[in-house]
A = this chain, B = another copy of it.
């Protein structure tokens, strides 16, 4: 294998698969000239969207088996061994690809990635990280839903994972890290976040700057580069942001169309509204990343269009090029997390 980046893909995952997947490969290749792909899925369905030029950088491997969006993770693990999703993951395990991207069932992708790639030594629970748009650019937040209940150690580990991810994809050398809490005061919140805060403050040269507690309003203010929380609160925060943004957009549309002046103003300012839409378009921030595994795994939003799927592919390529997995492995070793440590929460996702 040459030194180009190789990404494997589940061609069949997502609402508009395999069309948007194939289209995304074409545009990703324009942006990253040295990238190559291994594409798993139905050869006929894929072939409909491929052009001849793609044969230089896309290798298609046929399989009939597909993970459905409502398959349970345990079912997918047992019965999906030849699925497009599983084969794409296994290509990373086998060293054929350095990262995998799928728009399919999140639970199945997590379970199969965990099984096939295994956590990096010393990591109790891998996490899902993603981007949050802020008034100052972008921040990283994790966990977005892999672990409903977390202990202190999980949160401390998420801080390390999030900082390495932020460095790899946003290029911030010493990211600031905040713990999501009910308020900024030291006494608020439950024992887990307070305990994690103490340990983060006490860490010696962790490669990030521990900021302290942050509140829900601080996320979009961009107060920190990395927001750390358990999967329940992280999922609630992420989806609350989505819901609120949609609500404001809906109210704006209603206000602008309720009068002739509103409609005229909206027409005059249509360029500004287009910029607003682009800035808030979730396809620009597409890609939840599974952090803590021996390999790069990106989950694209199931409803993503080709632009969104391209973002997810670029994200995977950025992590591969940065050597993020190797860096996480070294950072956990240096922080004293060992594979032999007891894992009191294992399997309690």
Interface residues of A (CB under 8 A from B): 72, 133-135, 145, 148-149, 180, 182-183, 187-190, 215-221, 229, 231-233, 235-252, 255-256, 258-259, 261-262, 264-273, 275-276, 279-280
Contact = CB atoms under 8 A, between A and B. Distances in A.
A212 B173 CA distance: 44
Contact of A269 (B189, B216, B266): B266
Contacts of A269: 256, 261-262, 264-266, 269
Nearest to A246: B220
Contacts of A183: 145, 235
A221 B250 CA distance: 10
Nearest to A215: B239
Contact of A218 (B72, B145, B188, B243): B243
A261 B272 contact: yes
A276 B273 CA distance: 15
Given A237-B237, A243-B218, A256 B232 contact: no
A143 to B, nearest CB: 10
A135 B247 contact: yes
A309 B296 CA distance: 52
A235 B241 CA distance: 13
Total copies of this chain within the assembly: 2
Nearest to A247: B220
Contacts of A235: 182-183, 215-216
A315 B329 CA distance: 55
Contact of A261 (B135, B180, B239, B271): B271
Contact of A217 (B189, B229, B243, B265): B243
Contacts of A218: 243
B259 A190 contact: no
A268 B275 contact: no
A236 B182 contact: yes
B247 A240 contact: no
Contact of A216 (B134, B242, B280): B242
Contact of A221 (B145, B190, B241, B243): B243
Contacts of A249: 248
B272 A259 contact: yes
Given A240-B244, A242-B244, A264-B265, 15 more contacts: A216-B236, A216-B237, A216-B240, A217-B243, A219-B240, A220-B246, A220-B247, A233-B233, A236-B237, A245-B245, A248-B280, A251-B276, A255-B272, A258-B272, A265-B272
- Kindly list the 3 A-B residue pairs having the minimum CB-CB distance in the complex, ordered from nearest: A265-B269, A216-B239, A262-B272
A264 B268 contact: yes
Contacts of A280: 248, 251
Contacts of A145: 182-183
Nearest to A233: B236
A182 B232 contact: yes
Contacts of A135: 246-247, 250-251
Most buried by B among A189, A236, A276: A236
A255 B236 contact: no
Contacts of A187: 72
13 contacts: A135-B251, A148-B182, A182-B232, A217-B243, A220-B243, A242-B244, A255-B273, A261-B268, A261-B269, A262-B269, A262-B272, A265-B269, A265-B272
